[in-house]
Amino acid sequence: MKRFLGLLLFLSSFAFSQLPPISQQPYPGTITVTVDASAASTKLFHAKLRIPVKPGPMVLLYPKWIPGEHGPTGPVVDLTGLKISADGQPLQWRRDDVEMYAIHVRVPNGTSALDVSLDYTSPAGAGIYTAGGTASDKLAVVSWNQMVLYPGGYEAEKITYEASLKAPVGWKIGTALPMAGQTGEVYQFKPSSLYTLVDSPVIMGEYLKVLPLTNPQGTPPVEMDIAADSQAALQFLPGVEDHLKRLPMEAVALFGATHYRDYHFLLSLSDHVAHFGLEHHESNDSRIPERTLSGEDIYKTLGGVIPHEYVHSWNGKYRRPVGLDNRNYEEPMKGELLWVYEGLTEYLGDMLMARTGLWSPERYRQNLAQEAAELDNKSGRRWRPLIDTSISVQTLNEAPHAWSNWRRGEDYYEEGELIWLEADMVVRQQTNGQKSIDNFVQLFHGQPSLGANQVPTYKAYTFDDVVNTLNQVTPYDWRKFLNERLWSTSPRAPLGGVEASGWRLVYTDKPDDVLRALEAERHYVDVSYSIGLIVSEDATIVDSFFFKPAAEAGITPGMKLVAVNGRKYNADLLRTAIREAKTSQQPIELLVENADYFKTYKLNYHDGEKYPMLQRNDKPDTLTEILRAHAK
Ligand SMILES: [Zn+2]
């Protein structure tokens, strides 16, 4: 009875608690974290922490706002098995009523350290970013933010952690986190700030290949640590390794400096983990389908993720927008400048895909055509300016595919790319071809390089800094140029850069091989530029483009295609009907199921199939010049 009463008092005392403000003081003492990932393939990770403390109330935080994910995506739902004790005695903990990522605990008198144990239960398969699937039977990525609690009220740079990791027997690891030693499967890392720890994930795998991208004398060294679900997936297509090895030299030729001690591409090749890329200052965690680099057909679907995440070492980590330079993982992020952070990275990343030869110029144009067409047909741009997709990143990054044409998605990536291509063309025109966006990035992201024995640091920037640096390259009304594009609700995409670089967006009646490969990988049919539909493999309407025939007739996402012109639906039948309607007076008849009810819709559409491509216009072909290899 007495104990029960005490417990009630204890719990109620935190009911209206507040989180501590962030001080600039270093956290006293070093926190140790020991992660047991020896059973990674079961998707269960254990961590033990020893946290030096002082008696009294304390707040422990689970990382919430994850850098590079631009949102509160820390997987607190998968933080399980949490136990806190002092000197062997279990302590009562209580989650904050409002902030689900905060744990309150009262440190007893005479206690100098807390022992925390926790589990991270990784979901199987897909999911969002690092909170999605992180382990298969043969590989895993350890994201330290998922394995730690940290004391509230301190900057991540000012809390020191000493980490160790136990890997599965026989697996190898790769990471940018400086290592202190290894005993069997246990790796001991040098002390680092919480910031660097979270910024330095570890890839592990039974089949792990280390591919140096710089020669032994090259400084700073760059390597790829590639884990795959099979040995066969590590046998890359001819030329791929050579193209990958061109990345550091092309990046240095572009930026003119480096800001890392050494750099690790942590690449997972697996069909059983979430697919995405996440940037870090000295590494990146990119996860793509198993056969992407070894299978002819799937190689066509390789997007620009590998150089994109590498470019982020300069644009996003070394240069970081104000609002995304958070002091710890509790402080909310502000995404307004993501059209620079991601949009410029998308432009430079795709440019490096071509400059290294990972993409042919034709493949680059196929990608650009698809991005341009998608944006040029995006109905939501009539109500939502691009800048609002940046600002609302934390809602859009988990938005469903349905209605995304009207809602808009994270368009600051691809539309940012179009804007930076146009800015590049403006610079070239204003300077008679003497300067380009390369000059901007050399001023903005370039010298001085990180010195020997220095820890990476960053320089924050604002919108004004971007405008001022562009003006330094060549005087122009950059503020107006950018604001017009960022705040526009024009139905048309900014295609001025495509046009000025010698190309125009047109539509053909044959899908190219890349579009076909993407359809196969994503399990959908894309007839969005003709009748305005994206249809999944099970015939469900994934999206319906406003102002296109299907949407005008009343067909919307979530409905299901049953029949085309009276015959049971399949993808080829739909394409054939669209093609044949071009020479017919008859409407295309679609029988559609909508929540158990059936209805026939008639589409008076006679323009045939439409797939985007770029075609030369009468201007000089500057785009091909932009994509030419630049490294000596
Ligand atoms: Zn990015």
DSSP string for residues in 109-134: TT--EEEEEEEEEPPSS--SGGGS--
Angle 522-526-530 (CA atoms, 0-180°, nearest 5)? Answer: 170
CA–CA distance, 196 with 52 (Å, rounded to integer): 20
Listed range (16-25, 80-89, 172-181) with the worst mean pLDDT: 16-25
* Distance in Å, CA 308 to ligand 1 centroid: 6
| DSSP conformation letters of 349-372 | HHHHHHHHTSS-HHHHHHHHHHHH
* Distance in Å, CA 501 to ligand 1 centroid: 24
pLDDT at 33 > cutoff 70: yes
Listed range (128-132, 138-142, 256-260) with the worst mean pLDDT: 128-132
Please tell me whether the peptide bond between 220 and the residue prior to it is cis, using omega within 30 degrees of 0. yes
Please tell me whether the peptide bond between 448 and the residue prior to it is cis, using omega within 30 degrees of 0. yes
User: Which whole number is the average pLDDT over 350-354?
Assistant: 98
* pLDDT tens digits for range 586-605: 999 999 999 999 999 999 99
pLDDT at 453 > cutoff 90: no
The pLDDT > 70 percentage for the chain reads 97
Alpha-carbon dihedral 409, 410, 415, 417, rounded to 10 degrees: -150
* pLDDT tens digits for range 92-122: 999 999 999 999 999 999 999 999 999 999 9
pLDDT at 5 > cutoff 60: no
| Gap between the terminal Cα atoms of the chain | 80
* Distance in Å, CA 117 to ligand 1 centroid: 33
* Distance in Å, CA 182 to ligand 1 centroid: 33
pTM attached to this predicted model = 0.95
* Distance in Å, CA 90 to ligand 1 centroid: 42
pLDDT at 345 > cutoff 50: yes
Long-range contact pairs involving 468-474 (C-beta distance under 8 Å, separation at least 24): 469/440, 469/443, 469/444, 470/423, 470/427, 470/440, 472/443, 473/427, 473/431, 473/435, 473/439, 473/440, 473/443, 474/426, 474/427, 474/430, 474/431, 474/435
Angle 106-108-114 (CA atoms, 0-180°, nearest 5)? Answer: 75
Handedness of CA 249, 250, 253, 258 (dihedral sign): negative
Q: Report pLDDT for 371.
A: 97
User: Which whole number is the average pLDDT over 419-435?
Assistant: 98
Q: Are strands 186-189 and 160-166 parallel, antiparallel or unpaired?
A: antiparallel
Angle 315-317-321 (CA atoms, 0-180°, nearest 5)? Answer: 70
* pLDDT tens digits for range 511-569: 999 999 999 989 999 999 999 999 999 999 999 999 999 999 999 999 999 999 999 99
CA–CA distance, 526 with 485 (Å, rounded to integer): 28
User: Between the CA of residue 204 and those of 103, 232, 238, 283, what are the distances in Å?
Assistant: 30, 17, 25, 14
User: Which whole number is the average pLDDT over 120-142?
Assistant: 91
- Strands of the sheet containing 541-544, edge to edge, are 524-527, 533-536, 541-544
**Runs of H (alpha helix) within 401-436:** 404-407, 414-430
* Distance in Å, CA 71 to ligand 1 centroid: 13
Q: Which residues surround ligand 1, an ion (CB under 5 A)?
A: 342
Local structure of residue 537 (DSSP, 8 states): T
Q: Report pLDDT for 216.
A: 75
Mean pLDDT of the residues in the chain: 95
SS3 content of the chain, % helix, strand, coil (to 5): 30, 25, 40
* Distance in Å, CA 345 to ligand 1 centroid: 6
User: Which whole number is the average pLDDT over 361-390?
Assistant: 98
* Distance in Å, CA 311 to ligand 1 centroid: 8
pLDDT at 297 > cutoff 60: yes
- Strands of the sheet containing 150-151, edge to edge, are 93-95, 102-107, 56-61, 150-151
pLDDT at 124 > cutoff 90: no
CA–CA distance, 393 with 545 (Å, rounded to integer): 22
CA–CA distance, 437 with 434 (Å, rounded to integer): 11
Q: Report pLDDT for 17.
A: 62
Question: Using 50, 70 and 90 to split pLDDT, how confident is the model at 14?
Answer: low
Question: Using 50, 70 and 90 to split pLDDT, how confident is the model at 8?
Answer: very low
Note whether 577 and 588 are within 8 A (CB).
Answer: yes
Q: Token digits for 274?
A: 């979430």
Question: Using 50, 70 and 90 to split pLDDT, how confident is the model at 220?
Answer: very high
Q: Report pLDDT for 219.
A: 78
pLDDT at 217 > cutoff 90: no
* Distance in Å, CA 152 to ligand 1 centroid: 28
Question: Using 50, 70 and 90 to split pLDDT, how confident is the model at 3?
Answer: very low
* Distance in Å, CA 288 to ligand 1 centroid: 15
For the beta carbon of residue 477, count every other beta carbon within 10 angstroms: 11
